[in-house]
Amino acid sequence: SRPILDMSYSRHFLDFQGSSIPSSMKKLVVTKLSQNFREAVTLQQDSPVPLPGDGDLLVRNRFVGINASDINYSAGRYDASVKPPFDIGFEGVGDVVALGLSASADYTVGQAVAYVKAGSFAEYTVVPARQAVPLPSVKPEFLTLMVSGATAYLSLKELGDLSEGKKVLVTAAAGGTGQFAVQLAKKAKCHVIGTCSSDEKGGFLKSIGCDRTINYKTENVESVLRKDYPEGVDVVYESVGGKMFDLALNALAIKGRLIVIGFIAGYQNPTGLQPIKAESLPAKLLKKSASVRGFFLNHYLSDYKMALQHLLKMYERGDLVCEVDFGDMSPEGKFTGLESVFRAVDYMYMGKNIGKIVVELPHSVNSKL
């Protein structure tokens, strides 16, 4: 085994005697490829706690984020070559509890960090130090920025061409990433329209600056857009897919841009797609000199740190609301512990969340750290 900075600590760590780090942990593992998360994923009770290498941190996870694409990952849609079993979960916030010698140049035991890396649905995760983001404290709000905030920031910056007075439509606007698209478009002095599924969500959207909310359960989105925005909308931040994609496409203004950041309506389908009326897509784009662009965060990692630093500063200045949903209003209450990740994924697909869904992983208070 490679050296860990504090050698007295490392001995404890390696033989687990008297150490506050246990020898085994709980984690979620994909054991079968399926878009049904409960079918695909197994909670393992006694996985060995991994050992950090020279440039690594061992992070004790305190909060983990739920993403719509967790289902795509458990279905094997991102990398067909990866076969089960494999770890799941994209992002976490926690404390450094052990680290390699090289990693100790920039980090110390007890430091708060966030990270984006597969395998966060575990009590402990090994994270390369260069991928970690140092934080002032362990707060769930920081987790909202890692994937959701960065996706909104980079997609709108790179593809949105936002400027004062532009009309921006955000679908699933009260969700984990929609909340940031609304706020960032408002910061660019745009007029923002947000779709949502309840009056409570509409109230939240108004509180973060949304100019026009459309509750698609009680209002006809197509009619509202045609009546209130006869010239169309300039930019759509689209994450729903299916019928909503068709509506958004039809609502584009001349030279309008539709940014696809997801299509959650289809993720639970075996094919992963809800049908859209794509046959007429070339004609519709040509008629309006419009464009449809896809955005996948992994293709913009060279700008990721810059985006995150910008968002962290905005949050610390009080310029950004980072709404967290712990599932307090869900039937069985707050999402606590890895076993509640299954409930949290169900809650997301029922469309109940306001803001980013986060699961808290409690740890015993008698830890030495």
Q: Residue 365: what pLDDT? A: 45
Per-residue pLDDT of the chain (369 residues; tens, 9 = 90+): 554 445 445 544 443 344 578 889 999 999 999 999 999 999 999 999 999 988 999 999 999 999 999 999 999 998 888 899 999 999 999 999 988 888 988 999 899 999 999 999 999 999 999 999 999 999 999 999 999 999 999 999 999 999 999 999 999 999 999 999 999 999 999 999 999 999 999 999 999 999 999 999 999 999 999 999 999 999 999 999 999 999 999 999 999 999 999 999 999 988 888 889 988 999 999 999 999 999 999 999 999 999 999 999 999 999 999 999 999 999 999 999 999 999 999 999 999 999 999 999 997 544 444
Q: Residue 19: what pLDDT? A: 54
Of the candidates 127, 125, 40, the residue with the CA atom closest to the CA atom of residue 341:
40
Distant-in-sequence, close-in-space partners of 108: CB < 8 Å, separation ≥ 6: 96, 99
Q: What's the predicted TM-score (pTM) here?
A: 0.92
Q: Residue 298: what pLDDT? A: 93
Of the candidates 108, 197, 172, 176, the residue with the CA atom closest to the CA atom of residue 359:
176
Domains of the chain with bracketed CATH: 24-138+323-360 (3.90.180.10), 146-299 (3.40.50.720)
Query: Which amino acid is located at 264 in the chain?
Result: I
> 27, 122 in Cβ contact below 8 A?
yes
Of the candidates 304, 338, 361, 296, the residue with the CA atom closest to the CA atom of residue 61:
361
- Rounded to 5 degrees, what are φ and ψ at 38? -65, -30
